[in-house]
Structure 1
């Protein structure tokens, strides 16, 4: 038991948060970092009690003005932003956590947590969440490619193999043999077309050979032929100074945006603008479709994964990403990247 008590004391004193425990509004115990703050800032713990008192009253509207009465409230914990050393060159920003320890004995704690540390922890948690999302997106894409290979490519090749085996039959007439070879050739051509389509989706060779603007025009032409929706590409952008990674990101965002407009927006016309400026390049994808409520799709859910994927791809290379859309007014997606 003594050893356990020592462990608790060590944990309390070595904590990176300043912890103060009060009884009947009087400070009865502080850990080392709380004592250091009191000494260095000449901080009166009663000031923190008054700040907590005011915040709790605002939140819970008690029946009278005594702090001990507020403790009777069923609230267990409240977080209060607070800044210490305001007159110094580097003010200290904290979250003060008020926590009820023993309601009957009127014992409570005030814990000061560094706001910068909490923000970094939140960023790390968000990054972990985004990493999980990206992994899911990659797995989803791999699954789609696998299904396409199995359900379409493999079946087409298998059908052609079956046709070739039938050629071993010597009882075919010349006309039957010609008809069968025509069917086999058609099956192989269809399979070849699908392989090319998959290759274009995965990595278009025109992007490497002729640049981003040419690749966008080829993409627009192909999707226009498949969908019947008018897709125009315009711009004067010189993309030679853009890295291959950024060109790939701009291509993928255009691809994703067009597919979204075709699948979800009932668009009749889509415009892609790629323009160079003095210090940055701008890509805009504009559709005249149904539009949508942007805030509704800015959180993690199944329907927002494509939007989040775009945003994260752009942020990875220090770009800016923006969506303007309203129900019934179409959608404009804007991407900016700095250029040398």
Structure 2
């Protein structure tokens, strides 16, 4: 029983380390993108200052722009690949280990006659169940299987339920004219944008409520997210090399499927985000 409990603690610690390692991986990937952005801004500023006096080639500017686009695309690709790998590891390995651990603990509980030992076993079984639930939640955040099976709207509803239950944030959701699947990674793009936006709200906005709408408009799908939080100085964020990386990633995600992300905000006035993704298919 002691060895089983020690094994549970080791597995649970490993599970938490997975989450920490993923955040560190994202930080490392985005740091390189920050560096390229700073270099690009500095180079543009220098060339604008001296363009009237000097004749120069734009090759380096084009190269910086090309590198930035390539790095942005790779960043999003690596993020998704990392998420897929971690979700698979959680489901195929950690999940099975925790399930086996719980079964072993339940078997041992039946054989233990000492009341004190049985109480310890009951506590260990409960912790194993909590770890299994924690593992499933992380796996869902990393790669929402529901997105592939049921589509975008049910996945968003599930995400909203998770957020409201864990944070107490009041969220309303209205949708109209959205097909079960948009295709071409557009479902995942919109889901990730919403996921990132809600994360930003929880971390930075001090908001009490969020209104989300998802509607078909002409040949586009519009996702809007509006909160009543603290807002921020958009000019400062735009010019700062250390601005919120989540905003940059949301914009890059949308750009990869031909879409856009626009943000309207002011300090103390909340934030309104609109993601627009083109859709050619007929949506029912």
Bin the TM-score by the shorter chain.
Answer: 0.5 to 0.7
* Cα distance in structure 1, aligned partners of 2:67 and 2:274: 27
Structure 1 residues 26-175: aligned runs within 5 Å: 79-81=50-52, 97=54, 111=55, 113=57, 117=59, 119-127=61-69, 130=72, 164=105, 167=108, 172-173=112-113, 175=115
Q: Is 1:190 the counterpart of 2:124 in the alignment?
A: no
User: 5 Å matches for 1:131-280?
Assistant: 164=105, 167=108, 172-173=112-113, 175-176=115-116, 178-240=118-180, 242-280=182-220
Paired residues for 1:298-313 under 5 Å: 298=238, 301-313=241-253
Bigger share in helix: 2
Using the alignment, how far apart are the partners of 2:82 and 2:206 within structure 1? 25
Question: SS state of the match for residue 298, structure 1?
Answer: helix
In structure 1, C-alpha distance between the alignment counterparts of 2:236 and 2:144, rounded to whole Å: 33
TM-score (normalised: structure 2): 0.66
Deviations 1:151-183 (A, max 9, x none): xx79x95xx58x949949x8x535345424322
Determine helix, strand or coil for the equivalent of 1:221. Answer: helix
What is aligned with 1:318? 258
> How far off is 1:298 after superposition?
2.9
Identify if the C-alpha distance between structure 1 residues 333 and 166 changes in structure 2 by more than 3 Å, giving closer, same or farther: same
Report how far residue 184 of structure 1 moved. Answer: 2.8
Q: CA deviation at 1:188?
A: 1.6
C-alpha distance after superposition, 1:204-255 (max 9, x if no partner): 2221222111111111011001001101111113234611511001001111
Indicate how the Cα distance of structure 1 residues 206 and 125 shifts in structure 2: closer, same or farther if over 3 A, else same: closer
Secondary structure of the equivalent of 2:218?
coil
Are the counterparts in 2 of residues 286 and 333 from structure 1 also a CA contact under 8 Å?
A: yes
Moved more, 198-207 or 262-271: 198-207
Unaligned 5+ residue runs, structure 1? 1-77, 82-95, 98-110
Which residue does 2:223 correspond to in 1? 283
Task: Say if 1:257 and 1:285, in contact at 8 Å, map to a contact too.
Answer: yes
Indicate the structure whose relative CO is greater, using CA pairs within 8 Å and at least 6 residues apart.
2
TM-score (norm 1): 0.56
Query: Displacement of 1:285 after TM fit?
Result: 0.8
Shifted more, 222-231 versus 172-181: the winner is 172-181
SS of residue matched to 2:62: helix
Change (3 A) 1:215 1:241: closer
Q: Which residue of 2 aligns with 1:89?
A: none
Distance of 1:125 and 1:244 partners within structure 2? 24
CA distance in 2, matches of 1:320, 1:197: 29
Mapped contact 1:298–1:308 kept (Cα < 8 A): no
For 1:139 and 1:245, locate their aligned partners in 2 and report how far apart those are by CA, in whole Å: 14
Structure 2 stretches of 5 or more lacking a match?
1-48
Partner Cα distance (1:284, 1:165) in 2: 47
**Residues 284 and 195 (structure 1), Cα distance of their counterparts in 2 relative to 1, 3 Å cut:** same
Query: How many pairs does the alignment contain?
Result: 225
Quick one: distance in 1 between partners of 2:174 and 2:213? 5
